[in-house]
Structure 1
Amino acid sequence: MPLFRIRLELARTKDHPSGSTLHGYEFVAPLDERGHLSTAEWKANKTKCTVRRYAPGVPDEHGHLIDVGRGWHFDYDQDGYEDDEPLFKLDRHEIRVGEYLSITEHDGQLRPYRIALVVPV
């Protein structure tokens, strides 16, 4: 099962009524033929499942996609969970261009992201 590079761009929010291509995430994950995350393949490729968070005016953050047993998170510091960003029901979503995912960010706010790109690594 191949790994895919996935780009998420901020969808419409109160602060960004048109969304923003400048706020987003790029991450690598194994997807099955239906576009669902594969836990078994993730376990075999953990170190390759990286994430980059980007936004204007702040340094990029780099980390990993992790399965915490009760959902998927972006983890930027392996020594603690305070910086983790949970992805809302990622295990149930089809990861396809045009679909949406929600992420609880560092400030505690749940924000919507549009899937803008899904390509094999």
Structure 2
Amino acid sequence: MTLYRVRMHAARSEEFPEGSKAHGYDFVVPLDKQMRLDPDAWKNHSRDCRVHRFWSGEEDQRGLLRHIGRGWVFDYDEEETDDNEPFFKLDRHEIKEGEYLSVKEQDGETRTFQIVSVQPYVQ
């Protein structure tokens, strides 16, 4: 298991016809040899699994990658649940450049993001 820093940008959509480098996430996640989320390693490194949400025109948000119930979420305030942004089946995706992940954001919209970099995380 290795911790990786993943950067993803908004993919092409009606909202972003060309995609957008100004809208996205940087996050740290433990990946196994198949470049899939390693839930057991996350248990030991949960506090290292930070997220930075950047969204043009809005204040940046910082939080943690958390496992809640059956799913994975970005959580910006551990005391609140209405700020959680759930992934669509994060644990079933290969995390590599060019792949896509979907996140249901705080406004209720599910948006697709393209992974633009995956690099070993150095603290």
| Shorter-chain TM-score tier | over 0.9
- Runs of at least 4 residues of structure 1 off by over 4 A? none
Structure 1 position 10 matched with structure 2 position 33: no
- SS of 1:58's equivalent? coil
What does 1:24-103 correspond to in 2, within 5 Å?
24-103=24-103
Superposition deviation, residue 22 in structure 1: 0.6
Whole-angstrom CA distance in 2 between matches of 1:92 and 1:2: 18
Structure 1 position 114 matched with structure 2 position 114: yes
**Under a length normalisation based on structure 2, what TM-score does the superposition of the two structures give?**
0.96
Aligned Cα root-mean-square deviation (Å): 0.6
Whole-angstrom CA distance in 2 between matches of 1:42 and 1:12: 30
Whole-angstrom CA distance in 1 between matches of 2:79 and 2:70: 18
Count residues with an aligned counterpart: 121
Q: Which residue identity does 2:73 align to in structure 1? A: H
Superposition deviation, residue 118 in structure 1: 0.2
Aligned identity (percent) is: 48
Which sections of structure 2, spanning at least 5 residues, go unmatched? Answer: none
Superposition deviation, residue 41 in structure 1: 0.4
Which sections of structure 1, spanning at least 5 residues, go unmatched? Answer: none
